[in-house]
Amino acid sequence: MSKRTVQFKIYRYDPDRDEKPYMQDISVELEPSDKKLLDALVRLKVKDDSTSFRRSCREGVCGSDAMNINGKNGLACLTDVDSLPQPIVLRPLPGLPVIRDLIVDMTQFFKQYNSIKPYLVNDNPPPERERLQSPEEREELNGLYECILCACCSTSCPSFWWNPDKFVGPAGLLAAYRFIADTRDEATNERLDNLEDPYRLFRCHTIMNCVDVCPKSLNPTRAIGKIKDMMVRRAV
């Protein structure tokens, strides 16, 4: 790739300075080595140091740089900048309060994550060595444990937009199933009780936006479906 200029339209809001948010038109010349959207944003920040976004690992494992890219949630570090139609429209993740520019307040998102008790529960005295688990049992956790808590899924979910305080959301429910599916965990009943409510689980209407946007190709809808199945089986 050679040098080229890309056009951006970026959501800007600094509560310290701006009365209200606005969309900023700005372009930046990219170096040949700039391949990902995050590279372009870092380049843009050299030009205007007030452009604000979170970033860390730049390889899709830390979950910092989730944003709304041309209308779809994704990670800037895993998005090829040259694949995007211009102007590239960047907005903060939808449905969470904006702190500044592309930085959202994720308190509600993590509150929901914490609400499902995202830790292994096993009150038996631990053995001296590891608890045993067969490769097949361990495989049940694949597609669940890899979540990076970027919030792309929950903030693309209309049910989460409407009820962020009541609906756990796809990320939290994926985590809930990760522990239900773990043969070492002994709190399945409590976990199902915790979700037995008109909102916490059942606000998922299988719209599947979560599956569509997950940068790790995970499938929260399937995990939610499995929890619903267990609820039903438990009831009959």
Instruction: Report d(CA 199, CA 132) in Å as an integer.
Output: 36
The residue (of 159 and 179) whose beta carbon lies closer to other proteins is: 179
Peptide bond preceding 170: is omega within 30 degrees of 0, i.e. cis? no
Instruction: Report d(CA 46, CA 50) in Å as an integer.
Output: 9
Query: How much helix, strand and coil, in percent to the nearest 5, is found in the chain?
Result: 35, 15, 50
Residues 69-98 that bind other proteins (CB under 8 A): 78
CB of 207 to other proteins, least distance (A): 26
The residue (of 158 and 219) whose beta carbon lies closer to other proteins is: 219
Binding mask 35-64 for other proteins (x = CB under 8 A): x---------xx-xxx-xxxxxxxxxxxxx
Residue 216's nearest CA partner among 171, 168, 164, 173 is 171
The residue (of 121 and 207) whose beta carbon lies closer to other proteins is: 121
From the centroid of its chain, how far is CA 208? 14
Instruction: Report d(CA 181, CA 216) in Å as an integer.
Output: 19
Do the Cβ atoms of 1 and 35 come closer than 8 Å? yes
Beta bridge partners of 192: none
Q: Does 118 bind other proteins (CB under 8 A)?
A: yes
The residue (of 115 and 163) whose beta carbon lies closer to other proteins is: 115
CB of 48 to other proteins, least distance (A): 8
Beta bridge partners of 6: 28
Among 12, 91, 100, 203, binds other proteins (CB under 8 A): 100
Q: Which amino acid is at 179?
A: F
Binding mask 142-181 for other proteins (x = CB under 8 A): ---xx-xx-----------------------------x--
Looking up tokens 């200029």, which residue turns up?
A: 5
Tokens of 204: 């998922």
CB of 42 to other proteins, least distance (A): 8
Number of residues binding to other proteins, judged by CB under 8 A: 57
Contact set with other proteins (CB under 8 A) = 14-17, 33, 35, 45-46, 48-50, 52-64, 78, 99-101, 103, 106, 110, 114, 117-120, 122, 126, 128-135, 137-138, 141, 145-146, 148-149, 179, 182, 184-185
